[in-house]
Amino acid sequence: MKVAVVGATGLVGTKMIELLIERNFPVSTLIPVASERSAGKTLYYKSEEITICTPQQAIDAKPALALFSAGGSTSLQWAPAFAAAGITVIDNSSAWRMDPEKKLVVPEVNGHVLTAEDKIIANPNCSTIQMVLVLKPIHDAFQIRRVVVSTYQSVTGTGVKAVQQLMNERHNLAGEMAYKYPIDLNAIPQIDSFLENGYTKEEMKMMKETCKIMQDDSIKVTATCVRIPTMGGHSESVNIECASPFTLQSVRQLLSNAPGIVVQDDTDNCVYPMPLYSKDKDETFVGRIRLDDTRPNTFNCWIVSDNLRKGAATNAIQIAELLLKKGLIQ
């Protein structure tokens, strides 16, 4: 099928194109899309040089599927136009995630909600995706009441400019700043802008998106999101309180059997998830599973996943694969 990638020159867009090849998605024609200033330039796809086009040119080419990763304003402007032309849009921005008319999907968690009528499908926030993968089997078994999460998020979540800032600082070079402060040898407790309630937009995304994906507004979530000078994946310290009692053995067993999750939890041998080793992997890794002795039916864990893959590009393509399997695109 014809597939458009909107934001094809960005970190996530580039990763989407790589994964279309890697996962053997049935692409007959790739249509790379970028801004007006990039239109007319070229990129390579399967050793073939192809021309980057504008969003309108992509619509005129009539793809069956459009993968969007070009920011919220682009998605708000162009996703409805693609959808109106009968093109299924999977959008990686925050533009449609909390729209009550749009599905917010992690295939392993709530892929069953997709229908033929869904022409704009939202890809969740990267840090939310890896967390709900772990929460889903626990919630099904023990009914989660409350989640307290602190994130340690890679600079790759900001984009190329942030990666360059980190590398410049590592080599003592002057350059453009993606952040207000230095990121190397630092931790910045702000991701996105602050809201009136004192939380950042990133924190509120995690809090709201979790309930929507899990289809349960009774789950209480509170978050603190922090940017740190790592690449390879986002890390999360998560405290999970359940309504029903459990054993750590049962938690580990549930997570070991859950799709998309790898348990790395052997503290005797210092085995636990780390972003350095999650890079370029599609699984979400969980470890440091231990009881919280201060609250009943509560445990802590440490979750790590490659934010450019499962946190963005892989999840979007897995949605497309599910649509294909269900016969909702062709």
C-beta separation of 156 from 231 below 8 A: yes
What are the backbone dihedrals phi and psi of residue 33, each rounded to the nearest 5 degrees, phi first?
-125, 140
pLDDT band of residue 184 (cuts 50, 70, 90) is very high
Express the helix, strand and coil content of the chain in percent, nearest 5 each.
35, 25, 40
Q: Which of 139, 225, 234, 301 is catalytic?
A: 234
Q: Which of 126, 225, 242, 301 is catalytic?
A: 126
Query: Is 139 labeled as catalytic in the residue annotation?
Result: no
pLDDT band of residue 187 (cuts 50, 70, 90) is very high
For position 6, what pLDDT does the model report? 97
Query: Is 234 labeled as catalytic in the residue annotation?
Result: yes
Beta 220-227 vs 261-263: how paired, if at all? unpaired
Q: What is the pLDDT of residues 218-257, one digit of tens each?
A: 999 999 999 999 999 999 999 999 999 999 999 999 999 9
For position 36, what pLDDT does the model report? 80
Residue 5 C-beta-side C-alpha neighbours within 13 Å: 27
What are the backbone dihedrals phi and psi of residue 299, each rounded to the nearest 5 degrees, phi first?
-140, 160
Name the one residue in this structure whose structure tokens are 């504008």: 54
In 3D, which of 304, 309, 329, 325 has the Cα closest to residue 153? 304
For position 37, what pLDDT does the model report? 82
**Domains in the chain, please, with CATH?**
2-125+312-325 (3.40.50.720), 127-307 (3.30.360.10)
- Rounded to whole angstroms, the Cα distance separating 321 from 33 reads 21
